[in-house]
Amino acid sequence: MKKWIPIATGLAAGFVAATIAFANVSPSLTTQASNSNTKSDAEKVYVPYGQKDEYYLFDSGGHSGQLFVYGVPSMREIRTIPVFSPDPATGYGFDTASKKMLGGYTWGDLHHPAISETNGNYNGKYLFATDVGNSRAAVVNLSSFTTKDIINVPNTSGPHCAAFVTQNTEYLFLPTRFAVPLGQEYQPLDQYSTKYRGVMSALTFNESKEKLNIAYQVALPPWSYDLSDAGKKSSGDWAVLTSYNTEEATTTLEINASQADRDYIVLFNWKELAQMVKDGKYEEVNGQKMIFPEKEKGGIYLVPVAKSPHGVDVTPDGKYFIASGKLAPMMTVFSFEKAFKAIENKDFAGERNGIPILKYKSVVEREVNPENALGPLHTQFDDKGYAYTTMFISSEIVKWNYKTGEVLDRVPVQYAPGHSVAAEGDTASPQGKYLVSLNKMSKDNFLSVGPSHPETMQLIDISGKKMRVIDTVPANPEPHYAQMIRADKIHTINVYPKDPSNPDAVYKQTDTRIVRKGNEVHVYGTAVRSRFTFDHTAKRPDSIEVNQGDHVFIHLTNIDFDEDITHGFAINSYNLNMEVQPGQTNTLDFIADKAGTYPLYCTNFCSALHQEMTGYLLVKPK
Ligand code: CUK
Ligand code: CUA
């Protein structure tokens, strides 16, 4: 049993209550140690050689811009999927298609992954994600674990809370964390309340084209919109998001955005909003269809909530939404049914910016306030109807019954959990079994690597009455949200199928050729163990000769239709690398601006003769 010495110092600097909270949490460690179990913790996380994990965990890479894939329960990292930032190892952001997709950005901040859903359950086909850093959204194909499309979302700044999808992936909503003037034009901050907006965007996904589209946007008041979730079943047409800084402060938000006792949950009916757009009740703003709630009524309501909330999560039965207090030490359970009734009866307590405010009392179901639990952020669910809420400040997970408010168990985590993720824990059918706590600060869990410690993920067995931490692993910065899906729901391809319609693809060495069009040179080549062929008629088929200043396109097809035989392609001193997976065609284009002789080689070890898989790029001086 590990012995934890809580280190309050610095961890929750500024939170006076931190020490008290730790003092409260510590005794339960003893309870955990004496919680005898037939299987040891080591056995529970051990996946024997030759066997596979039961779940995939897709973990947000935060400000790395990437997505990390783990297996659960082994907690082994299997793959990094580059999404919003380049990845030199796979050549993502180097090859022509992914470079275009990244649009010149070399950084992203991926907070929330969301797996596509059918009837409120993960279908394992796609994963969506948003970039808070550069206001983008992306879609990852889960048959190849590759990013297929990235879209820039205008009129918005820092789409944080999403991606969250509706129960049949009709929409993907991106509410914004920062309010900005529409189109991000210059406006003095003194004009904040009148000229700034917090825009929420509704995106659709065209599966056959694997393309994201912006369907419409809503110009919400200039507040910060934080987390959000879509309804399920009886609340399936609705979605909720939390707001803060309804004070509309423009400086020192730490103090000024926490003045008012209440902020709001935004409750909206996305079907009604879509109908409004159909009926032309919108204005065109920078090419987008923008609904202005102060001009067109309907579809959006405000629910008062304890100040500066963070997460809001819909229960698996779709009946309630739970707001986590962040600053208020409680979880507030709201009833959709009550909200619908209040809307029907027009039982409003006024409005803000034209949006009706529902009465807190007419929507709230209960407030749950576990003793000394501080900083509730996010809630997940299991298969038995229990909720699990992360407590950032008191560093624990609280298990509770959202139908009765009864607190059932608490387990300390090390330290400061943001989100947690349970197996399919935000769907209509959570699996129970496992919960992973995504911790912001590890504090001495691992060998020292200097002043900044790695983050951690802690695997918690939630199958029994008592939660039990069974493993702790280091995590790359920075786990925000994650999604855990049953492994048998993911169907990956073994090789890329031949695509006769792709003009860049060459499937036979005898079809390889180099075509010149003015100063553009197109190389249609193949890679196969263990040689490149760029022009089969040439004296040296594995070398390319161009003139200085030529725009060179290398279209390379991996004709090893054999699982896991991936080739790479790099040109020495040209700062270029790309990858071609089995059966895949990929293009790299560059200006041959440096004259000289440059070896080219395969970067991915592919056979015993991998070292021999080389050639030359000869650039003839002008
Ligand atoms: S946020 Cu990071 S802890 Cu981006 Cu989901 Cu709450
Ligand atoms: Cu091909 Cu190494």
Q: What is the mean pLDDT of residues 369-390?
A: 96
Segment 109-165, tens digit of pLDDT: 999 999 999 999 999 999 999 999 999 999 999 999 999 999 999 998 888 766 578
From the CA of 477, how far away is ligand 1's center (Å)? 13
Q: Please name which ligand lies nearest the alpha carbon of 531.
A: 2
In whole angstroms, give the CA distance from residue 370 to residue 119: 33
Shortest-distance ligand to the CA of residue 416: 1
- The pTM is what? 0.93
The answer, yes or no, to whether residue 347 has pLDDT greater than 90, is: yes
Residue whose CA lies nearest to ligand 1 atom number 3: 418
DSSP 376-405: EEEEEE-TTSEEEEEETTTTEEEEEETTT-
- Quote the pLDDT of residue 622: 94
Position 387 pLDDT exceeds 90: yes
Show which of 454, 489, 524 is a domain's final residue. Answer: 489
One domain for residues 419 and 309 = yes
Whether 3 shows a pLDDT value over 50: the answer reads: no
What are 540's two structure tokens? Answer: 């040296």
Q: Mean pLDDT across the chain, nearest whole number?
A: 92
Ligand 2 neighbour 614 (Cβ under 6 A): no
Distances (CA, A) of 381 to 226, 235, 257, 378: 20, 17, 30, 11
Whether residues 541 and 444 fall in one domain = no
Together in a domain, 88 and 128: yes
Query: Is the predicted pLDDT of residue 239 greater than 80, yes or no?
Result: yes
Q: Which CATH number goes with the domain that contains 535?
A: 2.60.40.420
User: Which of 227, 229, 415, 420 is the pocket-test mutation for ligand 1 (most atoms within 8 Å of CB)?
Assistant: 227
Domain assignment of residue 32, yes or no: yes
Q: What is the pLDDT of residues 42-91, one digit of tens each?
A: 999 999 999 999 999 999 999 999 999 999 999 999 999 999 999 999 99
User: How would residue 258 be classed by pLDDT, with cut points 50, 70 and 90?
Assistant: confident
pLDDT at 6 over 70: no
- Asked if residue 247 belongs to a domain, the reply is yes
Q: What is the pLDDT averaged over residues 89-94?
A: 96
**349 and 221 in a common domain:** yes
Are residues 283 and 319 both part of a single domain?
A: yes
Nearest alpha carbon to residue 470 among 479, 478, 461, 480: 461
Report the separation in Å between the CA atom of 548 and the middle of ligand 2, taken as the mean of its atom positions: 27
Considering 461, 489, 517, which residue would you say is the last residue of a domain?
Answer: 489
Minimum mean pLDDT range among 10-14, 216-220, 519-523, 581-585 = 10-14
Please give the pLDDT value at position 37: 56
**Domain shared by 319 and 439, yes or no:** yes
Could you tell me where the DSSP H helices lie in 26-173? 28-34, 41-45, 96-102
Q: Is the pLDDT higher at 461 or at 14?
A: 461
Q: Are residues 381 and 517 in the same domain?
A: no
**Domain-embedded: residue 374:** yes
Is 31's pLDDT higher than 50?
Answer: no
Domain extent for 397: 18-489
DSSP assignment, residue 343?
A: H
Across 63-72, 86-95, 259-268, 568-577, least confident range: 259-268
Ligand 1 atom closest to 440 (CA) = 3
Instruction: Decide if pLDDT at 374 tops 60.
Output: yes
Cα distance between residue 547 and residue 588, in whole Å: 17
Tell whether 482 and 575 lie within a shared domain: no
**Three-state secondary-structure class, residue 281:** coil
CA 588, 589, 591, 595 torsion-angle sign: positive
- Take atom 1 of ligand 2 and give the residue whose Cα is closest: 567
Kindly give the distance from the C-alpha atom of residue 511 to the centroid of ligand 2, in angstroms, as a whole number: 20
The answer as to whether 503 is a domain residue is no
Spatial separation of the C-alpha atoms in residues 444 and 98, rounded to whole Å: 38
Question: What Cα–Cα distance (Å) separates residue 48 from each residue in 43, 54, 435, 490?
Answer: 10, 12, 21, 21
DSSP state of 161: S
Instruction: Specify if 496 maps to a domain.
Output: no
Q: Is the CB of 586 under 6 A from ligand 2?
A: no
Count how many domains the chain has. Answer: 2
Q: Domain boundary at 459, 489, 519, which?
A: 489
**Ligand that lies nearest to the alpha carbon of residue 113, given by its number in the listed order:** 1
Q: How does residue 15 score in pLDDT terms, banded at 50, 70 and 90?
A: very low
Instruction: Note the pLDDT of residue 143.
Output: 98
Angstrom distance (rounded) from CA 401 to CA 465: 12
Nearest by Cα to 316 from 431, 455, 436, 149: 431
Q: Which amino acid is at 128?
A: F
Tens digit of each residue's pLDDT (9 = 90 or more) over 165-217: 899 999 999 998 999 999 889 999 999 999 999 999 999 999 999 999 999 99
The answer to whether position 11 is within a domain reads no
| pLDDT mean over 332-360 | 97
Asked whether the beta carbons of 185 and 248 are under 8 A apart, the reply is no
Cβ–Cβ under 8 Å, residues 399 and 409? yes
Residue 17 tokens, joined: 């209550």
- Quote the ligand 1 centre to 418 CA distance (angstroms): 6
611 lines ligand 2 (CB under 6 A): no
Nearest-atom number in ligand 1 for the CA of 311 is: 6
Q: From the alpha carbon of 418, which atom of ligand 1 is closest?
A: 3
Q: Which atom of ligand 2 is nearest to the CA of 604?
A: 2
Could you tell me the distance, in angstroms and rounded to a whole number, from the CA of residue 86 to the centre of ligand 1?
23
Tell me if 417 is assigned to some domain: yes
Q: Are residues 524 and 399 in the same domain?
A: no
Tell me if 606 CB under 6 Å of ligand 2: yes
Please give the Cα distance from 480 to 468 (Å, whole number): 22
CA of 547 to the centre of ligand 1 (A): 51
The closest alpha carbon to 383, from 328, 427, 337, belongs to 427
Q: Which residues line ligand 1 (CB under 6 A)?
A: 111-112, 160, 227, 310, 377-378, 418-419, 480-481
Please report which helix (H) or strand (E) contains residue 521, including its range.
Answer: strand 520-528
Q: What percent of the chain has pLDDT over 70?
A: 94
Amino acid at site 496: Y
Are both 184 and 310 inside the same structural domain?
yes
Same domain flag for 366 and 260: yes
Q: Which two tokens stand for residue 61?
A: 């890479």
pLDDT score for 255: 82
Statement to judge: residues 234 and 264 lie in one domain: yes
Tell whether ligand 2 has an atom less than 6 A from the beta carbon of residue 602: yes
Contact 390, 397 (CB under 8 A): yes
Burial pattern 587-622, b for ≥16 Cβ within 10 A else e, equals bbbbebeeeeebebbbbbebeeebeebbbbbbbeee
Q: Classify residue 218: in a domain, yes or no.
A: yes
pLDDT(240) > 50 = yes
| CB-CB contact of 583 with 498 (8 Å) | yes
Of the chain, the percentage scoring pLDDT greater than 90 comes to 84
Q: Is the pLDDT of residue 303 over 50?
A: yes
Residue 519 in this model has a pLDDT that exceeds 80: yes
Cβ of residue 342 lying under 6 Å from some atom of ligand 2: no
Distance CA 241, CA 261 (A): 18
C-alpha to C-alpha distance for 273 and 218, rounded to whole angstroms: 9
Listed in sequence order, the DSSP H helices in 46-184 are 96-102
pLDDT at 260 over 70: yes
